[in-house]
Amino acid sequence: MGNRYAIVLAAGQGTRMKSKLYKVLHPVCGKPMVQHVVDQLNRVQLNELITVVGFGAEKVQDHLGEQSHYVIQEEQLGTGHAVLQTSDILADKQGTTLVVCGDTPLLTSETLQHLLDHHEKEGAKATILTAHAENPAGYGRVVRNSSGDVERIVEHKDATGEERSIQEINTGTYCFDNAFLFNALNSVSNDNVQGEYYLPDVIGILKQEQEKISAYQTPEFTESLGVNDRVALSQAEKMMKQRINEHHMKNGVTIVDPDNTYIAPDVEIGQDVTIHPGSMIDGVSVIQDDVTIGPHSTISNCDIGTGTEITQSVARDSQIGARVYIGPYAHIRPQVNVDDDAKIGNFVEVKKASVGKGSKVSHLSYIGDASIGSGVNLGCGTITVNYDGHNKHLTTVEDDAFIGCNSNLIAPVTVGKGAYVAAGSTINKDVPAEALSIARARQTNKEGYASKIKATKKD
């Protein structure tokens, strides 16, 4: 295998998106379009990846960071002009150069690999990835001669009525012999309806120079969807969602209503997991076997252990152990670590806290900045009073402690191992291990007092 280079075209403003956000940063299934493209490119072996950026360049660079080299296209004069900006890095290199648009998020590495193999097998100077489109409007059309060889590409706006009836489209993905690409680019003009330097013109130029041009037609039109506006963005989202969901279903995940289940591309899910409708799993979450999620749950950047159930709840940036029960209506905020066999019940919010093995926080609690040991029972309405208006403080509840209902634990405070806190207590001093702490007003019963009250109310 010779040298391989890739250029991602991402400098267009994306005016048709009508957005403050740079076009290629719009997410599809939670991941920016350009990141989808770069991830797929990284699966084929490359010597170098260069992204052409323009308007909003810093944001793309901030996002992709070290994953790519960058060149700036100051003015967006067309896709050919964009490729020309990589001359300083690539023009004198020998090898194959892949060019991919940053707005084709559905393109897969398998198709890129097929394209490269085809290009190399044919010994072509340029190979276009084409597709058959039911509705080709907007795309460049592949014009072939009477023997079926590719002659050139004509842009929709420049095409004649007859050319517009061609259904084979240019997907905007190509393989070039690098030296021939840069030579031909110097001959590309902007004499067309849009006044732009078109990269596809390189095909016609090489053909006229009698060089070998080839086309590889992908059987999957969906892969070539170019996202120019928000209608196409929603179509890309739908297709990507379907692709991801089918991948998991084929791996042994039950998705009860795939149209209503949203899983990000980098989520890993084990076997015999069931996902109920209205659930979203995003970020880099890892879900182990036999987990049940939903209905209506959101899980973001979490690791979820085997056999855990999460119902109608939200969990973010946290670690949840095995056989844990969460919900309904629980909120697990970042930096939570729930150990195996624990329970986080309805209307419980947990933040920056660890909850030990087998511990229960079953109802109506706020547990923030806390270290809860194993075998602990936090009664209904237990609140960690973690914030004094300036700083957050830690609450520690050691193993096997029992906190009665409606208790306030004013941090910093520690309840020792095996201790009891009576219901309704407000605890602001440490409770020793095995002690019983009662911190509430004493109850006084005044016998027969009710009749006196009633007497004052007679008129």
Q: Name the site residues for ligand UD1 (rule: CB under 6 A).
A: 9-12, 52, 73, 76-79, 81-82, 101-104, 139-140, 153, 155, 169-172, 198-200, 226, 228
Residue 261 binds which one of ligand UD1, Ca ion, none, with CB within 5 to 8 A depending on kind? none
Q: How far is the CB of 138 from Ca ion (least distance, A)?
A: 8
Which of Ca ion, ligand UD1, none does residue 361 bind (CB under 5 to 8 Å by kind)? none
What is residue 210's three-state secondary structure? coil
> Which of 57, 81, 98, 103 is in the footprint of Ca ion by CB under 5 A?
103
- Is residue 271 classed as helix, strand or coil in its secondary structure? coil
Out of ligand UD1, Ca ion, none, which partner does residue 35 contact, by CB within 5 to 8 A per kind?
Answer: none
Give residue number: closest CB to ligand UD1: 140
| Residue number with CB closer to Ca ion (228 or 274) | 228
Nearer to Ca ion, 199 or 203 (CB): 199
Catalytic, out of 63, 156, 363, 393: 363
| 105 part of the interface to Ca ion, by CB under 5 A | no
| Contact partner at residue 411 from Ca ion, ligand UD1, none, CB < 5 to 8 Å by partner kind | none
b/e burial code for range 8-20 (CB count within 10 A of at least 16 → b): bbbbbebeebeee
Dist. CA 446–CA 459, nearest whole Å: 24
Question: Which among 98-106, 120-128, 132-140, 273-281 is the span making contact with Ca ion, rule CB under 5 A?
Answer: 98-106
Contact status: 226 vs Ca ion (CB under 5 A)? yes
CB-CB contact of 279 with 261 (8 Å): yes
Q: How far is the CB of 85 from Ca ion (least distance, A)?
A: 18
The listed partner (Ca ion, ligand UD1, none) that binds 345, CB under 5 to 8 Å by sort, is: none
Burial class (CB in 10 A: 0-12, 13-18, 19+), 52: buried
Say what angle helices 33-42 and 109-122 make with each other, to 10 degrees.
50
Least distance to Ca ion, CB of residue 19, Å: 15
Half-sphere exposure for 394 (CA within 13 Å, toward CB): 9
Binding site partner of 217, from Ca ion, ligand UD1, none, Cβ cut-off 5-8 A by kind = none
Binding partner of residue 73 among ligand UD1, Ca ion, none, CB cut-off 5 to 8 Å per kind: ligand UD1
Judged by beta carbon distances under 5 to 8 A according to partner kind, the member of Ca ion, ligand UD1, none in contact with residue 11 is ligand UD1
- Closest to ligand UD1 by CB, 104 vs 312, is 104
The whole-angstrom distance between residue 203's C-alpha and the CA centroid of its chain comes to 36
Min dist CB 182 to Ca ion, Å, is 23
Please check whether residue 198 is in contact with residue 154, taking contact to mean a CB–CB distance below 8 angstroms.
no
**Pairing mode, if any, of strands 168-177 and 126-132?**
antiparallel
Which residue lies nearer to Ca ion by CB, 76 or 228?
Answer: 228
> Tokens 């209905």 label which residue?
295
- Binding pattern to Ca ion, positions 174-213, x when CB under 5 A? ----------------------------------------
Residues 416-445 that bind Ca ion (CB under 5 A): none
Segment near Ca ion (CB under 5 A); pick from 102-110, 259-267, 297-305, 396-404 = 102-110
List the structure tokens of 296. Answer: 């209506």
Tell me whether residue 363 is one of the annotated catalytic residues.
Answer: yes
Question: Minimum distance from CB of 148 to ligand UD1 (Å)?
Answer: 20
Spell out a b/e string for 313-338, using b for 16 or more CB atoms within 10 Å of the CB, else e. bbbbebbbbbbbbbbeebbbbeebbb
Q: Minimum distance between the CB of residue 415 and ligand UD1, rounded to whole angstroms?
A: 58
Number of residue whose CB is nearest Ca ion: 226
d(Cα 349, Cα 113) in Å, to the nearest integer?
48
Task: Write out 316-371 in H/E/C secondary structure.
Answer: ECCEECCCCEECCCCEECCCEEECCCCEEEEEEEEEEEEECCCCEEEEEEEEEEEE
Using an 8 Å Cβ cutoff, are 154 and 203 in contact? Answer: no
User: Does 223 sit near Ca ion (CB under 5 A)?
Assistant: no
- Non-local CB neighbours of 18 within 8 Å, separated by 6+ positions: 229, 230
Question: Measured from the CB of residue 199, what is the shortest distance to ligand UD1 in angstroms?
Answer: 5
What residues form DSSP beta bridges with 282?
Answer: 300
- In whole angstroms, the minimum distance from the beta carbon of 395 to ligand UD1 comes to 51
Residue whose CB is less far from Ca ion, 13 or 186: 13
Q: Closer to Ca ion at the Cβ: 33 or 302? A: 33
Nearer to ligand UD1 by Cβ, of 101 and 330: the residue is: 101
CB burial of residue 174 (10 Å; 0-12, 13-18, 19+): buried
CA atoms of 450 and 459, how far apart (whole Å): 17
Residues 6+ apart with CB under 8 A from 73: 11, 52, 53, 54, 81, 82, 85
Q: Residues in the site for Ca ion, rule: CB under 5 A?
A: 103, 226, 228
Active-site residues, by number, are 363
